[in-house]
Chains A and B, each alone.
Chain A
Amino acid sequence: MRLQNVCDRWLPWAAGCGMIIALYCIFLVAPTERDQGIVQRIFYFHVSSAWTAFIAFGTVAFTSGCYLWSGKERYDQVAQSAAEVGVLFCSFVLITGPIWAKPIWGTYWQWDPRLTQTLILWTIYVSYLMLRAFGGRDDLVRRWAAVLGIFGVIGIPIIIVSVRLLPGIHPAVLMTKEGTSGLPDPRMRLALYVTAFAFLLVFTWMVHLRTRLQRVADRIAMMQADLRAG
């Protein structure tokens, strides 16, 4: 059985089951946090969305590099698909964060280094998508988009280290500034890892669908151009 058939048949089921198990872990396994109460459970989807967005943008950078190196269109198609799904997950981070922040910090938004860097990362990849949407199918556009896709990924390590190196109010997730764990209860860590894995499955499924669609759309565009040329 080809990998594509396996993805078509099993990925939606794996992603769906993964999300159900994640919800079970979040609401029935992980305990309620003592200080923040039930609203802390936003954390599991918020952080998993952030990690998925990082993986998506990492995929954009890697496949863009492969495209620049080899010129093979299939890498560019994966990069475009991963960028679209990455922007979706990064949007989840930027929406769920303020919803969580309001009851805890008393404000929806603070110009904290990590928050600001995440917003910058989001705008870079939105620019990437706009370039792809309005630039057409020209090879030069693809190459410039690939450069932007690689450039944008620099923001990810900055976001990760900014919470430790720069002053701000955003908490560290797995390890605090003092070096202790941000999640003292192992059931909380379990819920986080299960949710992150479920999100990874959803991401893989979405990118698979989107890439296949892009492949067919590119082929149609080529056929239309051939028909016009006679």
Chain B
Amino acid sequence: MEFLGSLFAAYSVIWIGIFLYLLRLTRRTRQVEDEIEVLRKQAVGPR
């Protein structure tokens, strides 16, 4: 089982990379939803 650490490191990089990218997309989606809410309020005006 020589170089098991290298194998683990290489696979971890890819899994963590995919996870972080999907997390970033989720956060950005939430930001966009917030922006839509602000726009909706601006369009409707103060009640």
Chain A interface (Cβ within 8 Å of chain B)? 37-39, 41-42, 45-46, 49, 85, 88, 91-92, 95-96, 99-100, 102-103, 202, 206, 209-210, 213, 216-217, 220, 223-224, 227
Contact = CB atoms under 8 A, between A and B. Distances in A.
B25 A99 contact: no
Given A39-B3, A209-B22, 4 more contacts: A88-B21, A96-B14, A103-B3, A206-B25
A42 B36 CA distance: 43
Nearest to B29: A213
Contacts of B11: 42, 45
Given A38-B3, A206-B22, A224 B10 contact: no
13 contacts: A38-B3, A85-B21, A88-B17, A88-B21, A96-B10, A96-B13, A99-B10, A102-B6, A103-B2, A103-B6, A209-B22, A216-B36, A220-B36
B21 A206 contact: yes
B3 to A, nearest CB: 4
Main secondary structure of the interface of B (DSSP, over half): helix
Contacts, number: 68
A223 B6 CA distance: 50
Contact of A209 (B1, B6, B25): B25
B22 A42 contact: no
Contacts of A99: 6, 9-10, 13
B10 A46 contact: yes
Contact of B18 (A37, A42, A95, A202): A202
A218 to B, nearest CB: 10
Top 6 A-B pairs, shortest CB-CB distance: A39-B3, A96-B10, A42-B10, A99-B10, A103-B3, A95-B13
Nearest to A223: B39
Contact of A39 (B2, B21, B42): B2
